[in-house]
Amino acid sequence: MSYTLVIGDRAYSSWSLRGWLLFDAFGIPVRTVSARLYTDEFASVLKDFFPARTVPTMRTPDGSVVADTLAIAEELAARHPEARIWPADPHARATARALAAEMHAGFANLRSYCPMNLRVSYSGCAPPPGVLADLARLETLWSWARRTTGSATPWLCGAYSAADAFFAPVASRIATYNLPVNAEAMLYVNAHLAHPSFRRWRAMGLVDGPDQGFYRRDYPRRDWPGPVPLPARAVPGTDTANPTCPYSGQPVTHALQLYGRSFGFCSAFCRDKTAADPEAWPAFIALYQS
């Protein structure tokens, strides 16, 4: 058996993003089960993961059900010490745990005013004082973490850790709403936007179901501030360079074109997530470069 992770809409569920990063960013295989937020499907899917009521929820290979991202992080760290989900250095590890705990429990103003939406970016959102206070606290925490741990990487406590996974949705909010943070904090945000796992999640979120009206805002829009994707596009037909999908190995049924070459996939979702950000997918890039 493998791990199973129940998630909500990838474009909007910030908690699901944290939970999934705890697998993908640390090389732990997982099967995902998706439930659309604000629908009967959500409760129906969770019936099979009792007593969980929220996403993400993990089922371990031995059948244990673990809800809540902090609990998932700790359980995965105990089962996979080689993944280094928490830093090995005791001081850095203590710092990372403190950061994750505050992110888990705090920043209510930012969460409420700026819900995660990976499908758009706005030129501004007129953040009120409570949001500005949360942003100032983030600047303080991120600067303190790098200073106290002596981090020489783009991340808070040395190598990418669970603490960074916990702050990934905040980085996305800053990108979506063009929130004002200082230069040091923006460097950290940009590191998240360029992280391979974050790019894969966002690529899936761009094509994973219709827009959720709850998250729509009438602010002026701008381009997404992260890495610019290669200009791939969906095309009809199955006359492609590859006979089988680079992800599943199944026969090609859908195609995309990139710089005049056509590549095939086993489903519209495989094609569309790749077209959204081709460089996010190592298996596709290996095919493209072959």
Average pLDDT over residues 38-42: 89
Q: Is the pLDDT of residue 61 over 80?
A: yes
Q: Is the pLDDT of residue 1 over 80?
A: no
Residues above pLDDT 90, as percent of the chain: 97
Q: Evaluate whether 28 touches 58 at the Cβ level (below 8 Å).
A: no
Average pLDDT over residues 21-50: 94
Mean pLDDT of the chain: 97
Domains assigned to the chain: 3-83 (3.40.30.10), 90-201 (1.20.1050), 233-289 (no CATH)
Instruction: Give the C-alpha distances (Å, rounded to integers) separating 49 from 95, 253, 288.
Output: 32, 33, 39
Q: Evaluate whether 20 touches 7 at the Cβ level (below 8 Å).
A: yes
Alpha carbons 263 and 257: distance in angstroms, whole number? 6
Q: How confident is the model at residue 3 (pLDDT cuts 50, 70, 90)?
A: very high
Please give the span between the terminal C-alpha atoms of the chain, in angstroms, as a whole number: 33
Average pLDDT over residues 39-59: 94
Q: Which of 144, 227, 153 is nearest to 188 (CA)?
A: 153
**pLDDT for the residue numbered 95:** 98
**For 165-174, 207-216, 270-279, which range has the lowest pLDDT when averaged over its residues?**
207-216
Model confidence pLDDT, tens digit, residues 81-135: 999 999 999 999 999 999 999 999 999 999 999 999 999 999 999 999 999 999 9
